[in-house]
């Protein structure tokens, strides 16, 4: 998918924009395992980023779509009536992140890994490694193998995650089945959550 394709998607109401934080992310926050400064990579209109900010995390949301970032900034303005906002949004390509963005203590990915093709995944995880501090964690939430295979994203298996994060930069802590909210929040589909530590 091109940058224009993603931009055009935000002219409508894309089905992945579910209007509430993903339950798997909420669980991570409630369990206290998301640490410190967070990068929400492929943040869309910022629902997850704003949830994290409300829970005390300084958050940077990045997305390749300018329209998504405009909408995220507007949501942030509406969510806070003071100037002391804990969240910032930037247009950026996750396959070409500036190291200046970081360092972060955590990276949250809700539905971004699964839009990349196999041959892009190595570049993607190298970019995450460049902005995540040693000992920090990436939380990657994707459509799992049992999700519908004709809704758009790639279905992601344990092996896909293991292969993508196989370099010396990473240690895979956990890959577990979970649910992924889709279709404006009307459907819960099979999801996969990977927790990966930056060495």
Q: Figure out which of the listed residues 60, 86, 106, 110 binds ligand SAM, where binding follows CB under 6 A.
A: 110
Is residue 115 within the footprint of ligand SAM (CB under 6 A)?
yes
Stretch that binds ligand SAM, among 57-65, 78-86, 159-167, 170-178 (CB under 6 A): 57-65
Q: Which of 34, 94, 125, 196 binds ligand SAM (CB under 6 A)?
A: 94
DSSP state of 180: E
**Angstrom distance (rounded) from CA 144 to CA 103:** 29
Let me know: does 114 contact 182? Beta carbons within 8 Å.
Answer: no
Q: Does 76 bind ligand SAM (CB under 6 A)?
A: no
**What 3-state DSSP class applies to 166?**
coil
Instruction: In whole angstroms, give the CA distance from residue 166 to residue 175.
Output: 13
Residue 165: CB partners within 8 Å, gap ≥ 6? 125, 138, 172, 194, 196
Check residue 139 for interaction with ligand SAM (CB under 6 A): no
Count CB-CB contacts under 10 A for residue 11: 8
For position 64 contacting ligand SAM by CB under 6 A, the verdict is yes
What character string, x for contact with ligand SAM (CB under 6 A) and - otherwise, covers 19-48? -----------------------xxx--xx
Binding site for ligand SAM (CB under 6 A): 6, 16-17, 42-44, 47-48, 63-65, 68, 93-95, 110-112, 115
């Amino acid at each position: 998918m091109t940058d224009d394709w993603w931009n055009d998607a935000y002219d409508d109401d894309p089905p992945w924009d579910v209007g509430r934080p993903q339950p798997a992310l909420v669980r991570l926050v409630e369990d206290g395992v998301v640490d410190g400064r967070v990068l929400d990579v492929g943040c869309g209109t910022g629902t997850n980023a704003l949830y994290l900010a409300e829970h005390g995390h300084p958050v940077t949301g990045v997305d390749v779509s300018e329209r998504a970032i405009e909408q995220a900034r507007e949501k942030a303005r509406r969510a806070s009536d003071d100037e002391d906002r804990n969240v910032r949004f930037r247009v950026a390509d996750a396959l070409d992140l500036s190291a200046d963005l970081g360092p972060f203590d955590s990276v949250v990915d809700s539905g971004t890994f699964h839009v990349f093709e196999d041959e892009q995944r190595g570049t993607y995880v190298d970019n995450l490694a460049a902005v995540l501090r040693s000992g920090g964690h990436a939380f990657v939430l994707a459509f799992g193998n049992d999700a519908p295979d004709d809704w758009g994203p790639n279905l992601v298996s344990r092996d896909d995650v293991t292969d993508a994060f196989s370099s010396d930069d990473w240690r895979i802590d956990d890959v577990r089945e979970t649910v992924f909210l889709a279709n404006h929040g009307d459907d819960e589909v099979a999801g996969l959550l990977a927790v990966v530590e930056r060495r």
